[in-house]
A = this chain, B = another copy of it.
Amino acid sequence: MGAFHEQVRGPAVPTSGSRAVQRPLGVGEVVITGGPLGRRQEVNRAASIPLGLVQMERAGSLPNLRRAAGTEGGEFQGYRFQDSDLYKQLEAVAWEYGRAPAAEYEEFVDEAARVLAAAQRADGYLNSHYQVVRPDRIYAELEYSHEMYCAGHLFQAAVAAARVGVGEELVAVARRFADHLVEVFLRGGDDGIDGHAEVESALVELYRLTGEGSYLELAGKLIDNRGKGLIKDSGMGPLYAQDHLPVREADTPVGHAVRQLYLEAGIVDVYLETGDESLLECSVRRWEDMVATKTYLTGGVGSRHDGEAFGERYELPPDRAYNESCAAIACVHWNWRLLLATGEGRYADLIERVLHNALAASTSADGVRFFYVNPLQRRSDLAEDAYLGRRRDWFACACCPPNIMRTISSLGHYVATTGDRALVVHQYAPGVIRSGEFELSVATDFPWDGRVTFTVERAPEREWALRLRVPAWSAVTTVDGLPATPDGSGYVALERAWRPGDTVELGLDLTPRLVHPHRRIDAVRGSVALQRGPLVYCFEQADQDVDVEELALSPEAELRVLDKDDLPGVGRTVLIETDALAITQPGDGLPYLTTPVAPLATGTHVTATAVPYFQWDNRDGGAMRVWLPLA
C-alpha cells in the first residue's frame, strides 16, 4: 500500500466542483453492527460472496477473459455481457475488503486485474465476448453489445478497489479502456451509445477518482446522444433503451427498467459535476412520475416481464410484477444521487423502502439463493414456473446475484451524509457513524423497534447539527420523548454544542397500518396491504390455516404484533396477526356471473398471519400475497 492508495481513498461521490448539497462519508466511516441490514452484510460475506467467487470460474467470466488473453482454451461461455458479472463481483469483494480486510480478497482483486490486463488489447479495448467470438463486430452493434455497459462496471469495480486501497492495476486497466472510449466516442466523433446505459455514471465516478475531465465530458455526451435514433431497433422499439426522446424531454420512465434507472443515475451524476440544472430537472420530473404511478408498495419498479420494462402509468400487477433485483439496486443509485443533489428526505424514504423490501427480498435468509424477479403475489399452482418459482442459487443470466452482493457490501454508504456543519442520518441501523471530528454510536433494534439512541462519542468544540430523517410513514415521532415535527425536507435538526456522552433518542411510530391503493391501480382494487414502519408485510401460506387465496380483511380489523426471536427458516422477526374471513366461491363454468359475487360467497372467521415481505420464501414455497381483498 503506497502513495497511490492514499491519494485515491475518499468518499464515494462526489468530489470538488460538485453541486451536491450533502456529501457522502468515506469508506469505513459507517459501520453497521446489527439489525436486518447488519445481518445481511454478515450473510453476504459468509455465504453469498464465496458462492459468487466459485461462479466466476464455473460460469465462465474468468475463463472467458483468459481465452481473450490466449492463456486458456475452450469456447466462450455465457452471454456477451459475461465480463460484467466479474466486475460486480470485484466491486463486492473490494467493498468487503473495506469493511474488513482479508488477504483472499486482495488476492482475488490482484489476480483478476492480472487476467484483465493480459486480456486487454494494446489500444485499451477489453471485452472477452467480442475479442474471442466476434472481433469483427467490435463497436458495430452497440444497441445490444453491452460493451460500454461492461466497461462501466469495470470502472466501478476499479473505483471501489482504489478507495479501499487494493486497486492499482485494476485502475490502470480501467483507465486504459476509458481512454479508448474517449478516443473513439468523444475525440473520434463517433456518435454511438450503448443500448444498456450504465457507463455514464461510471465515467463520472472514474472522473471523480482520477480527475480526468474527458471522462465526465464523454458521460455528458452519451447522455445528450439519447433520443437521436442512434440505437438501431433490435425488435423492442425505441422505448426499450430510452432512445425515444432526448432525456430533457422525456416525462416518465420507460422501457427496460435497469437501463432507465442507471441512465438517471448518470444524468444526476453529470448534473452534480457540471451544474447543468436542466439535467436535474428532467430527472426529478421522471422520478415524481415514477413514484406516483409506477412504483410498487415494496419499492420495486419495472412491472413487465416482457422487456423487463416499466409498464404504463398505474400498471402495477402484484402477481406478474417483474421488479428485477437489479432495478431495485439501480433505483437506490439514482435516489442516492438525488439525495446528495437536493438533501430532500423523500429520496432517502424511497431508499429505505427499497432496502427493507424490494431489494431485501431478493436474497434468501441463508444468503445462497436469489430472486431475479420479485413479485408481490405467488399463487399455489405452477410453482415450477421458470421465473415465478423459488429463489435459485444462480442464473444463466446472472446479472443480479453479484449486483446484490456489491450493494450489500456497500450498504454503509447510504446511512449518513454531511451537510453544512451537520451530520445527517438517513437510515437507521445499530453501529457507528464517523465524520471528521464527529463520532456517533447508534443503538437500536430498528425496524423491529422504533427507538433509535444516538450517543456522541467524539465532537468538535463548536455547534453542529445532528439531522435525523423522519420517515413519511411515522405518524407520531418523538425526540427524547417529546413530539418532533420534521422540516420541509423531512428531517428534525438538533443543533447543539454536542459533548462526548450526550445522547438523543429518536422515537418512530411502528403502529401497524392498513394501506389502500390509489383507485387507478386496477390490479389491486378493493384490496389492502399491511405495513409496519418501513416493512411491507405479506401473507404466506405457511402461516395460515386456510388457503391464502381465500383470505379477506376488514378495514376495521385489529392488527396484533407478535415478536418472534427465531421463526424457523426465517430467524428474528415480528409477525402481524389479524382476524380475517376465509371466503370461498363456487367455480363451475366461466368465472363471470350476472349476479354480484357477495351473495354467492360464504365466509368463515379465521386468524390471518403476516410476515415481513423481505423474509418470504424462506419456508415451503407456497402461495404468498401482499394485497388481500377487503371482506
Q: Which residues of A contact B (CB under 8 A)?
A: 235-237, 239, 244, 252, 254, 291-293, 295, 297, 304-306, 311-320, 346, 377, 379, 381-382, 384-388, 396, 472, 513-527, 529, 549, 555, 583, 585, 587-597, 601, 627, 629
- The answer to whether residues A514 and B594 also contact, given A244-B384, A377-B522 and a CB cut-off of 8 A, is yes
Q: Are B237 and A386 in contact (CB under 8 A)?
A: yes
Taking CB atoms, residues of chain B closer than 8 Å to A601 are 519
Taking CB atoms, residues of chain B closer than 8 Å to A524 are 522, 525
| A-B CB contact pairs (8 Å), 27 listed | A236-B386, A239-B382, A244-B384, A254-B382, A292-B587, A292-B588, A304-B320, A306-B306, A306-B387, A312-B382, A314-B379, A315-B319, A315-B379, A319-B522, A320-B320, A514-B594, A516-B596, A516-B597, A517-B593, A518-B592, A518-B597, A520-B549, A520-B587, A522-B629, A523-B523, A525-B525, A525-B527
Q: Which of B291, B377, B385, B588 contacts A590 (CB 8 A)?
A: B291
- Look across to chain B and name the residue whose beta carbon is closest to the beta carbon of A346: B589
Q: Which of B306, B385, B587 contacts A239 (CB 8 A)?
A: B385
- Look across to chain B and name the residue whose beta carbon is closest to the beta carbon of A584: B519
Q: A235-B396, A305-B305 are known contacts; what are 18 more A-B pairs with Cβ within 8 Å?
A: A237-B386, A304-B305, A306-B306, A312-B379, A315-B320, A315-B379, A513-B594, A516-B595, A516-B597, A518-B587, A518-B597, A519-B601, A520-B585, A522-B523, A522-B527, A522-B627, A525-B525, A529-B592
> Complex: how many Å from CA A367 to CA B596?
38
Q: Are B312 and A583 in contact (CB under 8 A)?
A: no
Q: Are A515 and B381 in contact (CB under 8 A)?
A: no
Report A355 CB to chain B, min CB distance, Å: 16
Q: Are B313 and A381 in contact (CB under 8 A)?
A: yes
Q: Which of B316, B526, B587 contacts A293 (CB 8 A)?
A: B587
* Of listed A381, A591, A594, residue having the most chain B CB within 10 A: A591
> Complex: how many Å from CA A276 to CA B588?
26
> Complex: how many Å from CA A591 to CA B296?
9
Q: Are A379 and B595 in contact (CB under 8 A)?
A: no
Report A594 CB to chain B, min CB distance, Å: 5
* Of listed A318, A555, A588, A594, residue having the most chain B CB within 10 A: A594
Q: Which of B305, B385, B522, B583 contacts A237 (CB 8 A)?
A: B385
Report A354 CB to chain B, min CB distance, Å: 12
Q: Are B320 and A591 in contact (CB under 8 A)?
A: no
> Complex: how many Å from CA A195 to CA B563?
51
- Look across to chain B and name the residue whose beta carbon is closest to the beta carbon of A585: B519
> Complex: how many Å from CA A109 to CA B472?
70
Report A615 CB to chain B, min CB distance, Å: 20
Taking CB atoms, residues of chain B closer than 8 Å to A529 are 592
> Complex: how many Å from CA A555 to CA B527?
19
- Look across to chain B and name the residue whose beta carbon is closest to the beta carbon of A583: B519
Taking CB atoms, residues of chain B closer than 8 Å to A522 are 318-319, 377, 523-524, 527, 627, 629
Taking CB atoms, residues of chain B closer than 8 Å to A384 are 237, 239, 244
- The answer to whether residues A516 and B592 also contact, given A381-B252, A386-B237, A523-B522 and a CB cut-off of 8 A, is yes
Q: Which of B237, B239, B629 contacts A525 (CB 8 A)?
A: B629
Taking CB atoms, residues of chain B closer than 8 Å to A549 are 520
Taking CB atoms, residues of chain B closer than 8 Å to A235 are 396
Q: Are A594 and B516 in contact (CB under 8 A)?
A: yes
Q: Are A591 and B520 in contact (CB under 8 A)?
A: yes
- Look across to chain B and name the residue whose beta carbon is closest to the beta carbon of A353: B590
> Complex: how many Å from CA A257 to CA B304?
19
Taking CB atoms, residues of chain B closer than 8 Å to A588 are 292
> Complex: how many Å from CA A596 to CA B387?
33
Report A443 CB to chain B, min CB distance, Å: 29
Report A306 CB to chain B, min CB distance, Å: 4
- Look across to chain B and name the residue whose beta carbon is closest to the beta carbon of A313: B381
Taking CB atoms, residues of chain B closer than 8 Å to A314 are 379, 591
> Complex: how many Å from CA A297 to CA B594?
12
Taking CB atoms, residues of chain B closer than 8 Å to A596 are 516, 555
